[in-house]
Structure 1
Amino acid sequence: MNLPFWVRRAHKWIGLVIGVQALLWMVSGLYMTAISLEVIHGDHLAHVFDGPLDQVSERLDIEQLAKIRPGFESMKLKKFLGKEVYELRAGGKATLVDARTGNVLSPLAREQIVARAKDIYQGEAEIREVTWITQAPQEVAKRPVPMWAVRFDDRSNTTLYFSPDTGDLLARRHDLWRWFDFLWMFHIMDYDTRDDVNNNLLRVAAGTGLVFALSGAWLVFYSFRRRAQP
Structure 2
Amino acid sequence: MIRLVIANWHKWLALLVSIQLLVWLLTGLYFNSLMNSADNVPTRQPVQHEGYLPGRELYPPQAIDAPPPVAVSIIWVLGAPYYQFEYNQPSHAYFPRQRRIFDATTGEPWQIGAEQVATIARQAYSGSATAGKPALLKPPIDDLPRQQNPLWQVRFADEFNTAVYLDALTGHVIRHTNDRQRLDDLMLTLHFMDYTGTGFFNHPLIVIFAIATSLLALSGGYLLISRSGPTGKQLASPCTLTVNFLSGAESASLQARADDTLFNALSRHGIHLPSECGGAGTCGKCRLQCTPDTPVTDIEQHHLNQQQLVRGIRLGCQQQVGACQQVELPRR
Normalising by structure 2, we get a TM-score of 0.48
Q: Does 1:126 align with 2:133?
A: no
In structure 1, C-alpha distance between the alignment counterparts of 2:42 and 2:211, rounded to whole Å:
36
Q: Does 1:94 align with 2:109?
A: no
Q: Does 1:142 align with 2:146?
A: yes
The answer for the alignment partner of 1:29 in structure 2 is 28
Q: Is the 8 A contact 1:44 1:122 kept in 2?
A: yes
Q: Deviations over 1:141-164 (max 9, x none)?
A: 332333211111122222222222
Structure whose alpha-carbon radius of gyration is higher: 2
Q: Does 1:79 align with 2:76?
A: yes
User: Once the 2 structures are TM-superposed, how far is the Cα of residue 111 of structure 1 from its aligned partner?
Assistant: 1.2
Give the length in aligned residue pairs.
195
Q: Is the 8 A contact 2:166 2:173 kept in 1?
A: yes
Letter in 1 for 2:27: S
User: Once the 2 structures are TM-superposed, how far is the Cα of residue 90 of structure 1 from its aligned partner?
Assistant: 4.0
Q: Does 1:67 align with 2:98?
A: no
Letter in 1 for 2:99: A
Say which SS state the counterpart of residue 134 (structure 2) adopts. strand
Change (3 A) 1:14 1:148: closer
In structure 2, C-alpha distance between the alignment counterparts of 1:195 and 1:205, rounded to whole Å:
22
- Provide the identity percentage: 23
Gaps of 5+ in 1: 1-12, 212-230
Normalising by structure 1, we get a TM-score of 0.66
CA-based RMSD? 3.5
Q: List aligned pairs for 1:72-221, cutoff 5 A.
A: 72-73=68-69, 74-90=71-87, 93-106=98-111, 108-193=112-197, 195=199, 197-198=201-202, 199-203=206-210
Quick one: higher RCO (CA 8 Å, sep 6+), 1 or 2?
1
Change (3 A) 1:201 1:154: farther
User: Once the 2 structures are TM-superposed, how far is the Cα of residue 23 of structure 1 from its aligned partner?
Assistant: 3.7
Letter in 2 for 1:45: R
Change (3 A) 1:46 1:203: farther
Q: List aligned pairs for 1:32-47, cutoff 5 A.
A: 32-33=31-32, 34-39=34-39, 42=41, 45-47=44-46
Say which SS state the counterpart of residue 117 (structure 1) adopts. helix
In structure 2, C-alpha distance between the alignment counterparts of 1:208 and 1:158, rounded to whole Å:
45
